[in-house]
């Protein structure tokens, strides 16, 4: 049952990405180009997502999860080099390609060259990071 609900929520999330235009790299790059030909339409999408989260998150955390024993939230509040480098790499990649992981996976269903390359690069980066972390330990 948990997998089925996860699948349905994934389909809902993917549908929202498609409907909002977040899967269109040129639209995302237009949104990020605030000093050029700025496409402000994704402000409503981002604002709606962030606003909903800010409003509902405190209420959600007061409840008990339905399919888990507890919420899995980050415990570290440190702003360290790893966090800053990761956020910078994410932002630069998003700005160059106009794709982030969620829309990248949704776009993979089209099997176009850019989406396939993006997902391969993202997966390779994830495995390289995990390999480097395990090597350090």
57-83 b/e with 16+ CB inside 10 Å = b?
eeeeeeeeeeeeeeeeeeeeeeeeeee
Output the tens digit of pLDDT for each of the chain's 137 residues: 889 999 999 999 999 999 998 899 999 899 888 898 898 888 888 899 999 999 999 999 999 998 889 999 989 889 998 889 889 988 888 888 889 899 999 999 888 898 899 999 999 988 988 888 777 75
List of residues 6+ apart from 33 with CB closer than 8 A: 39
Q: What is this structure's pTM?
A: 0.77
Question: Under a CB-based contact definition with an 8 Å cutoff, are residues 20 and 42 in contact?
Answer: yes
The predicted structure's pLDDT at residue 132: 82
The predicted structure's pLDDT at residue 2: 87
Q: Residue 32: phi, psi to the nearest 5?
A: -80, -15
């Amino acid at each position: 049952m948990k997998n089925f609900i996860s699948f349905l929520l994934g389909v809902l999330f993917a549908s929202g990405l498609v409907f909002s235009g977040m899967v269109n790299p040129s639209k995302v790059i237009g949104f990020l180009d605030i000093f050029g030909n700025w496409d402000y339409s994704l402000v409503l999408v981002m604002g709606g997502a962030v606003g909903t989260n800010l409003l509902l998150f405190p209420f959600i955390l007061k409840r008990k999860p339905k399919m888990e024993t507890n919420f899995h939230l980050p415990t570290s509040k440190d702003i360290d080099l790893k966090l800053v480098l990761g956020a910078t790499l994410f932002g630069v990649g998003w700005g160059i390609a106009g794709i982030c992981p969620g829309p990248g996976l949704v776009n993979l269903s089209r099997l176009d060259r850019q989406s396939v390359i993006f997902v391969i690069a993202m997966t390779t980066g994830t495995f390289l990071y995990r390999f480097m972390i395990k090597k350090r330990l």
